[in-house]
Structure formats: structure tokens, C-alpha cells
């Protein structure tokens, strides 16, 4: 049986509501059932997805063959240029420049 979390939450709520409705009609001997319904509701609350962690914005443009060629070209034509300078010229991170020049970026 493969049930997704939102479906389980929905089923928990239905069970809790049914127990509570039955207890309101019977009135006697429902303490245990009411406690069970409350426990189910607490469990249902634990099944909510947590808010995603904030992700840092992308700071570098996407690598493509033309960009890699341009990085290599700038490095070849400017042998004294730093990787930081090359990265600033092309709008990528210095790490991307380093990876490209070392052959890590294919």
C-alpha cells in the first residue's frame, strides 16, 4: 500500500472526526476514544511538510561549450590575468573558471 503524506493526513482527520462524532452521541465511556482522537490530530499535524530552506540565488551564468571556450581563450590571451578577473569579465564564479581551466568542466 503506497499512500502519500497528504492522503494519510486526510485519512487521519476523517478517523479523528468519526471518533469525535461517535463520542458526542454516546457521551459515556468515551474518554479513551477522545484521547485517541486528540492523539491522531497531533500526529496529523506532524505530517505537514516543513517550509523549504531558503536557497541562495544563482550568481553565475550557465556553463555551455561557448562559455568554456571563451574562458580558455581569455586565459590563453591574458597569461597574467587572474581567475577572478576572468570570472568578472564573463559573469561566472572564479570556481567555474578554475574548474574549466583544470579540465573538471567537460
Spell out the per-residue pLDDT of the chain, length 106, in tens: 566 788 878 888 888 888 877 777 676 557 777 777 888 888 777 777 777 777 777 766 788 899 999 999 999 999 999 999 999 999 998 999 999 999 875 5
Q: 100: burial class by Cβ within 10 Å (0-12, 13-18, 19+)?
A: buried
Cell of 38: 486528540
Residue 11 CB-half CA count within 13 A: 6
Write down how long the chain is. Answer: 106
**Residue 87 host element (H or E):** helix 83-90
Provide the pLDDT for residue 99: 92
Nearest to 101 by CA among 88, 79, 35: 79
Provide the pLDDT for residue 83: 94
In this structure, the dihedral spanned by the alpha carbons of residues 52, 58, 63 and 68, taken in order and rounded to 10 degrees, is -140
SS3 at position 70:
helix
Amino acid at each position: 500500500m503506497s499512500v502519500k503524506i497528504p492522503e494519510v493526513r486526510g485519512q487521519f482527520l476523517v478517523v479523528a472526526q468519526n471518533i469525535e462524532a461517535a463520542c458526542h452521541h454516546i457521551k459515556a465511556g468515551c474518554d479513551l476514544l477522545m484521547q485517541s482522537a486528540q492523539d491522531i490530530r497531533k500526529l496529523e499535524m506532524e505530517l505537514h511538510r516543513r517550509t523549504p530552506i531558503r536557497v541562495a540565488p544563482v550568481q553565475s551564468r550557465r556553463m555551455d561549450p561557448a562559455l568554456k571556450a571563451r574562458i580558455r581563450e581569455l586565459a590563453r590571451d591574458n597569461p597574467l590575468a587572474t581567475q577572478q578577473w576572468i570570472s568578472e569579465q564573463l559573469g561566472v564564479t572564479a570556481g567555474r573558471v578554475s574548474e574549466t581551466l583544470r579540465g573538471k568542466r567537460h
